[in-house]
Each structure stands twice: as structure tokens, then as C-alpha cells.
Amino acid sequence: MSQTPLLSSSAAPSRELRERIENTIRFLSVDAVARANSGHVGAPMGLARAAFELWNAHLRFDPQDVRWPLRDRFVLSNGHASMLQYSLLRLYGVLSQDDIERFRNLGSRTPGHPEYGETPGIEVTTGPLGQGFAHAVGMALAGRLARSRFGKQAGDGPELLGPGEHFVYGFAGDGDLMEGVSSEAGSLAGHLGLGNLIFLYDDNEVTIDGPTSISFSEDARGRFEAQRWHVEDVDGEDEQALDVALARCRAEVERPSLIVLKTVIGKGSAAIAGQAKAHGWSMSADDIRVAKEAIGWPADVELYVPEDVTAYFEERKKQLKEARLEADARQEAWRSAYPERAQAWEAALARKLPADLPALLCEGMEGVTSPTRKHSAKVIERLSEHVPYLVGGSADLAGSGAPPLIKGRGIVGPGAGEGHDPFAGQNIHFGVREHGMAAVTNGIGLDGTFIPYSGTFLIFSDYMRPAIRLSALMQVRSIFVFTHDSIFVGEDGPTHQPVEQVDGLRGVPGLTVFRPADGIETAMSYAWVLEKAEGPCALSLTRQDVPGLERADGFDRYDVWRGAYTLREAEGDPRVVILASGSEVSLACDAAAQLQADGVPTRVVSVPCQELFAQQPADYQDALVPDDGPLLVAVEAGLAQSYRRWIGRRGVLHSMQGFGASAPYADLATHFGFTADALLARIREAL
């Protein structure tokens, strides 16, 4: 793997200038937090030296183009220390002085925690501890996948620089290591051998409640070594030792690396250094003045940046631009050497798709009785042939179709077999790590080369919710494939039978949730996800068979993209309109047929996606589901409270009222009233 250009000796700052730069980082953080009367200064003060060393001498990036594809990535997993990153971005000219002045203010580019898409130079939204670390694992995996598919080949010299030849660096704190998601993601990273991932652990031995000894006594080195990581120990104030350790970490190509960095939280202030109160804002005006005067810093100037510090970074930006141009020239040499790979990489970045994708996915799906999870498996199989930048897998449930392995597309990781490139496959075995899997999925998406998917049983979406929420906040194009989506899981019982989960996912702003009713709806859901989605999507799929549906005359498969459509029209003005999704759509059709035979005109509306239906014009919504006139009924084998938006307070909600039970799914349908007779009785009573 190519090495990041290191800082030349002529560009290294003197000891005196280095200290001024480090103190600039410290007191930009202190002053910004003081102005906001809110925030965290302890980590920025303790990590200033290490952060400057990493960014200045090791991180390959171009401050004038923060999305440069060949850049190294930096992740601040302990996102409460956001002013550390904002201070660095300010010194490199990515952020302005005004941005720093407006820290934590409404509409600023410097929110309380780093937010992807809001602040240039931020690679991932962090704050919930452990998530940045786990997302970074996904970003590193994406780099390895990109190098395998598109990059230069073994034996090529350093004159070529292809995709995936970058590193993912990050900072993490005690809280990141305590959160379980970091253990899941760290285990996966070690198993996969992600040698392009390097994290610096801020081992300051202090938590919010006091010393780490009150709650955390793990041997971090032993833990990560057991997970197959390369580990270094470094004094956080010894930049020369850190320089050597980072070089050794980059040379370790088959294992991710952790640098255990001993630091002093709040360094530079006698009032808070080494104390728990350094975690929050606790410095008084006198504390700030005393800290500044102790190092000869102007006590009466806020957000001070010395002139020689500004001059140094202006020169450094020029040097980084020169390094970028040299890297771009090496990339052009790669393009010349591998034009087909270059073309494929550009197609992936541009998200190029077959022109007839919906037709391709729908072929042979009409009228087929099958679980929607199996329809999904067929769709993913077809996508793998036509969308080579789609990658993913399941949390040890591929055998249950959640989602399945793509035949003939290879395994990612050691499972690829001896002599095979471990990153050439498309199938990722995430293991039983749902929490980590969701974050890694997002990290792959954030890299920008691949569209990732991952899946498990719907009930375990609860384990994934933090990362799903972050995917929606960031609008990253992750695809979450959930199967076994109702009480009809059957004999496994209520611990495995979702009732509130679909509604819970529908409640996440920015997440598009599909619950398709048959093969056509499943295929068109995937087609929308690939062609139209600008953020994350989830699919809710059945374990049990559902019939291929008969549709009303004039049906256009693109009606599925409207979120709801008339599946079966009433014979005459409808007295009843039944809304349903997934496995309950056929049930609604059976009930409607009987009502129609009894002289009650009934319309059935299939609702594969409430979010898309909500985006339709009001006249379309009103024509499909009138506010007045017919009785409105919604049926779903879950809590289904999300349907109240469409049927109102007085509509009939035929849904679960509590948890399920352990029994064959046909017995559960009878017991909980998900039969045509039970639904008919409920509707007749309401009429």
C-alpha cells in the first residue's frame, strides 16, 4: 500500500512554533466553548499535540478540496471533542474565524458534535460514542474493496496510485471503547485484516463521573491484540515517538492498528487538568486568564491566532496542494495503465445503472407465490450482475435469506479461501454483530464508491437503531434488508416476532421504509432504492409465502413508486377503503371480495411505502383515501399506529394490540384475528 507523503524536514515547524500551534488549538477550543457557554475542552487540550502531529505530518489531504477522492479519512469518534477538529480545520483554512465564533449557534457550520454534510471536512457524524469508530471500520473496508476491484495490481510500483490506497485515521476515547458497538466493529476489523485502519486511543484515565478506575479496568492493549489488532503505546506529549508509531502502523498491512496514547485531559489549565470536570464546560473567566498567562498567551484576546501560525499554515496548504498534484499525476498513470478499471470506478462513483432496471428486476415476478424475502433474494442476485458496486451481507442469517449469499460472487475476508484476494468478493459475513453491522454498512456508503446493504430479522433492527438513525441524519445510501417481519415468524415466539418495529422505522425522519406485498412490489421497491433514493432505505419482508397479486386494470408498475395505489377497485362508489401492506394485502383482497359480493363496494389500497405516499400531491392522496364518505380500514400484523395518519381517529385499525405468541403461523393468524372472517366481522360491525 502506498505511503502517505510525510512532512519534509524543511517544512517542519521549530519547537517554539510547534508549541504556539498546539496552544492555538487549545485556546481556540477554550475560547469557542466559553463563548457558547457549552461544550467540551478537556480532550482538545489533551490531544492538541498528537492531533497536530497526525494532521501535519501524516494525513494526506487537500484543505482546498476536502472531498478529494485520494484523501486519507479522519474520524473523531469522541465527537464531544469537536472543537479539536474545528480548530484544525480553521488553521488549514477550511473553516473561517466566523465559523469558530459561532460554535454551537443555530445555523453555524460548527455544531456541538461533528455533522457530516453540515461542516466541510467532516467525514461522518459522530457523538453517540462508539459509532464513529464502527463507521470508520466500514470506511476502511470500503477502501480495501475499492483497491481490490479498481486499484493497481500486485507488482505495480509507487508511480501508480489507484483507488483505495488511502488510510482511515481516527481518535477514540474511553467512552468509545466502553460502548459495545466498538467491540463488535473492532472484532470484525481484526477478522478482516483491515491494515488501512489506524486509531489513536485517548487514554486519559478520566470519565465524566471520575477516574476510569470506577467503571473501566480493561486491558485495552490485550483486548485489541486478542481481536487481531497491532497495538502501540505512546506518550501523547512525545510527537517523535508518535511519528515513529504511525509509520509502523502504516507498514502493518494485514492488521488494523491501535495507538494507546497516554494524555492529560485539560492539559494547559491547572484548574481542570487531569480532572473529571474537564469533560464539561467548567473553566471560569479567571481560570482561562490564569491558563493563558501561564504560557504567555494574550489573556484579553479571544480566539487568538498568532501571525507566524497563520503564515505556517498558508505555506503548508501550498505544500499539500503540491503533494495532491503529485498524487493526481500518479493516479493518471494508473488510469493509463488500467483504463477498464478506471472506467468501472468512475461508473461506480457516478452510480451508473442499466437503463431498463425496473423491467429487468420485475421480469418473471408477476403472479408468483413466494415469501417476499425470496423475491428479494432474486432481485439482489440480478442486481449483482448489473450493479457491481453493490456489496453486502447479513448478520449470520444468509441461510434464512436475510439477505442470502449471492452465488458465484465470492466471500469478503479470510473465508475467501487460501490464494484468493480476501476483498474481491461481494458477500460480507458480518457475523452476529447487528449493532456493528449497521455502522459498518454506513461507513461503506460514506466512502462513496459502493452502495452497501445489510440485513437480519426485523426484530433485531432494535440492535441497529443508533446507526440507522445516523444513516438518516447523514442521508447516506445504506440499504437495510429485514425479513421475518411480523408475528408470522411463528414458533420462535414473541421474542422474535416484531410488532412495533415497522412503525418504529417509519418514525425515523429521512428513512424510507418499504413493506412490499409480492414480487412486483419487491422488485419495484429495489428499483426505487437504486434509482431514486438520496438517503437510507429499509425493506420489511415476509418469512411466509404471499400470493402473486391480481391488479386493477390500468396498473402501471411505477404506481409502486407513489407509495400507495389502488390494487382492487370497488364496483361502484366505495363504501369501504381498506389499506394494507406486505402479507396483509392479500387478506384485504379476500375480505374485499366478500364485501363486494354482499353489495358493499370496497376498494383495496396497497401501501408499500408510507413515506412515498406522503410525498404525493394532496389530490392523489384524497382520491385514493377520501377523508369523508367511505369507511377507512387499515390492516397490518403489527401495531400499525402509523396508519392513523391516513384513516384518522374514527377509522378502523385492525392490528396487533400487544406481543405475539409461540405457535404455527396459521394458528397465530386465527388467534390474533388476521383472517378474512375476522376482518370482515370487524368491518361489518363498524358499518
Class of domain 357-540 (CATH, top level)? alpha beta
Q: Is 335 exposed, middle or buried (0-12, 13-18, 19+ CB in 10 A)?
A: middle
Tell me the pairing of strands 210-211 and 206-207: antiparallel
On average, the pLDDT of the chain sits at: 95
Residue type at position 412: V
Share of the chain above pLDDT 70, in %: 99
The grid cell for 673 is: 384475528
* 424 pLDDT more than 80: yes
Active site positions, annotated? 434
Model confidence pLDDT, tens digit, residues 304-356: 999 999 999 999 999 999 999 999 999 999 999 999 999 999 999 999 999 99
- Binning pLDDT at 50, 70 and 90, where does residue 415 land? confident
Model confidence pLDDT, tens digit, residues 254-302: 999 999 999 999 999 999 999 999 988 779 999 999 999 999 999 999 9
pLDDT (0 to 100) of residue 439 = 98
Alpha carbon of 600 to those of 158, 324, 350, 552, 591: distances in Å?
A: 76, 72, 52, 18, 11
* Three-class SS of 614-649: HCCCHHHHHHHCCCCCCEEEEECCCCCHHHHHHHCC
β-partners of residue 482 are: 456, 540
pLDDT (0 to 100) of residue 416 = 81
Please report which helix (H) or strand (E) contains residue 482, including its range. strand 479-483
Altogether, the residues listed in the chain come to a count of 687
The span from the CA of 327 to the CA of 174, in Å, is: 36
Please report which helix (H) or strand (E) contains residue 603, including its range. strand 602-606
* 218 pLDDT more than 60: yes
pLDDT (0 to 100) of residue 407 = 87
Exposure b/e, 54-85, CB count within 10 A at least 16 = b: bbbbbbbbbbeebebebbbbbbbbbbbbbbbb
CA 565 to chain centroid, in Å, comes to: 31
- Binning pLDDT at 50, 70 and 90, where does residue 2 land? very low
Exposure b/e, 10-38, CB count within 10 A at least 16 = b: eeebeeeebebbbbbbbbbbbbbbbbbee
The span from the CA of 90 to the CA of 457, in Å, is: 45
Query: How far separated are the first and last CA of the chain, in Å rounded?
Result: 71
* 87 pLDDT more than 50: yes
pLDDT (0 to 100) of residue 12 = 87
The grid cell for 480 is: 437495510
Model confidence pLDDT, tens digit, residues 105-156: 999 999 999 999 999 999 999 999 999 999 999 999 999 999 999 999 988 9
Model confidence pLDDT, tens digit, residues 529-572: 999 999 999 999 999 999 999 997 889 999 999 999 999 999 99
CB 189: neighbour CB atoms within 10 A?
Answer: 31
pLDDT (0 to 100) of residue 399 = 85
pLDDT (0 to 100) of residue 282 = 78
**Number of Cα atoms under 13 Å in the Cβ half of residue 116:** 26
- Whether 329 and 70 have beta carbons less than 8 Å apart is answered as no
pLDDT (0 to 100) of residue 7 = 60
- Whether 513 and 468 have beta carbons less than 8 Å apart is answered as no
Share of the chain above pLDDT 90, in %: 94
CATH 3.40.50.920 assigned to domain 559-686? The reply is yes
DSSP secondary-structure letter at 299?
A: T
DSSP letters along 110-150, please?
A: S-SS--TTTSTT--S---STTHHHHHHHHHHHHHHHHHHHH
Model confidence pLDDT, tens digit, residues 196-213: 999 999 999 999 999 999
In this chain, the answer to whether the domains covering 9-325 and 559-686 adopt an identical fold is yes
Q: What is the dihedral of CA 477, 483, 486, 489, to 10 degrees?
A: -160
- Binning pLDDT at 50, 70 and 90, where does residue 4 land? very low
Indicate the domain borders of the chain: 9-325, 357-540, 559-686
Architecture in CATH for domain 9-325: 3-Layer(aba) Sandwich (3.40)
CA 431 to chain centroid, in Å, comes to: 18
The span from the CA of 214 to the CA of 459, in Å, is: 34
The span from the CA of 295 to the CA of 175, in Å, is: 31
Residue type at position 640: A
Model confidence pLDDT, tens digit, residues 21-37: 999 999 999 999 999 99
Q: Is 640 exposed, middle or buried (0-12, 13-18, 19+ CB in 10 A)?
A: buried
Residue type at position 521: E
